[in-house]
Amino acid sequence: MTEPIRVVLAGASGRTGREVGKAILESSDIQLAGAIGHHQAGKSVDAIWPGVKSEIIITVELPHCDYPAVLVDFTEPESAFWRVLEAIGRGWHVVIGTTGFTADQRDAMARQVADHGVGGALIANFSLGAWLLEHLVQEAAQYFSEAELVEAHHPHKRDRPSGTAKRLAAMLARVWKKPQDEIPIHAMRLPGMVAHQAVVFGAPGQILTVRHDVHDRSAYTAGVLQTIRRIDRFPGRLIQDLGELVER
């Protein structure tokens, strides 16, 4: 019998972390081995995730495990960076949904993943629809030469613009061979929103809008679970394209 994949989830007290954690508990081949959450430390998981049964106690640091694990991180870049490096140093694979890292931090994580021979995924948006949005935008950019990005998120999201919007802008800049900062990004942070991305292309006499909306954070769980299951197939690489990790 195959051993389940053990996962330590950072961001257990957050909205996205809660949905990811519940999906892990419902999976037969993935086991929740630990949970990290600064605001709810000391409480059990089932005390903050309605409808689940788990006696795992939430901690503020990586738990000391005598077995390999996968760190799944949905927090904020300041603490996540050092936590990810610690996990890599232990020989753990890392699945990172946290955004807002600097270029130097991303490079450092990539070097550590390569040096320790573990698998790493740094994905700005784990929803399959957002991945498809990227492909549609890249195709449209072959025929249009001007566009602006509009992204909107909940008011608690710290990075502005979002990692997904920056990735889309970088993609357009590469296709059009122009500086990324010449691609306008309009960012909104308002109550009632979750995650919304739109790329508006313009040409004489016509407008093309490519848009993706997340109304519930359960949209991310399928991509996260597939990444957890496949990340060990990519030793030494920090993957930033969800398409490499999902089964089609």
Catalytic residue IDs: 153, 157
Which residue in this structure is represented by tokens 């990075």?
Answer: 159
Q: Residues 209, 199: contact at Cβ < 8 Å? A: yes
Q: Residues 80, 95: contact at Cβ < 8 Å? A: no
**Which residues have a Cβ under 8 Å from the Cβ of 15 and sit 6 or more positions away?**
217
Structure token pair of residue 116: 């320790």
Q: How far is CA 219 from CA 19, 125, 131, 134, 182, in A?
A: 9, 10, 12, 16, 31
Q: Residues 70, 33: contact at Cβ < 8 Å? A: no
Q: 32: buried, middle or exposed (CB in 10 Å: 19+, 13-18, 0-12)?
A: buried
Return the closest-CA partner of residue 223 out of 121, 154, 151: 121
For 115, other C-beta atoms within 10 Å of its C-beta total 11
User: Which H or E run includes 25?
Assistant: helix 15-25
Q: Residues 126, 242: contact at Cβ < 8 Å? A: yes
**Which residues have a Cβ under 8 Å from the Cβ of 202 and sit 6 or more positions away?**
144, 146, 147, 148, 208
